Chain A
Amino acid sequence: GAGVSQTPSNKVTEKGKYVELRCDPISGHTALYWYRQSLGQGPEFLIYFQGTGAADDSGLPNDRFFAVRPEGSVSTLKIQRTERGDSAVYLCASSGQSNVLTFGAGSRLTVL
């Protein structure tokens, strides 16, 4: 597609529930990234995919967070047993040969 697409744009859930956030990167971009932006903060790195594999997942805060990219295109960020502190905007980005990241509009997650 023309840009990085993220769905849903807004998600409200209850504490303890499971959530999936989807990212559709720019066509042909082999690298995909997830960042998290909490209120009043800059984005923080979560995970980086090169193709289908997670090349660096050092930013995932704990084992409740998991991300997949089974076919090397669309990625899903999965959060188990959500907590109020997980409330944030989750940003996806992709890059091609230039290595410059292009970001999506984000998925705003609110955990009540």
Chain B
Amino acid sequence: AQSVTQLDSQVPVFEEAPVELRCNYSSSVSVYLFWYVQYPNQGLQLLLKYLSGSTLVKGINGFEAEFNKSQTSFHLRKPSVHISDTAEYFCAVSEGGGSNYKLTFGKGTLLTVNP
């Protein structure tokens, strides 16, 4: 079985500051990794994904994440945040191959960007 731990339930930052949202996973097989963002009253939107290849993944809205297999981590980063980045962020993992549809999500990190 796989699991995802998002170490911070809430992260407050000031506008234009850098931010890192932490995600650790456990799985006995190779995995695919995802970050989704959820704005209030909206569905989950894919920010970025790691399937294979380069461990540094760039996504939308200036976000990037790095897959670290030895530390089983997939932390999300942005060098300078905007007020509009305020949202809930979810890390998710799925097994590769035929079971890649079944995502296991973390509990989410609420990012609040203050002026």
Contacts and interface: CB of A to CB of B under 8 A. Distances in A.
Interface of A: 3-4, 31, 33, 35, 40-45, 48, 56, 59, 91, 93, 95, 99-106
B101 A103 contact: no
Given A42-B90, A42-B108, A100-B49, A31 B43 contact: no
Interface residues of B, number: 20
B43 A43 contact: no
Interface of B: 4, 36, 41-46, 49, 90, 92, 100-108
B101 A102 contact: no
B105 A44 contact: yes
Contacts of B41: 105
Contacts of A104: 43
A45 B102 contact: yes
Contacts of B45: 103
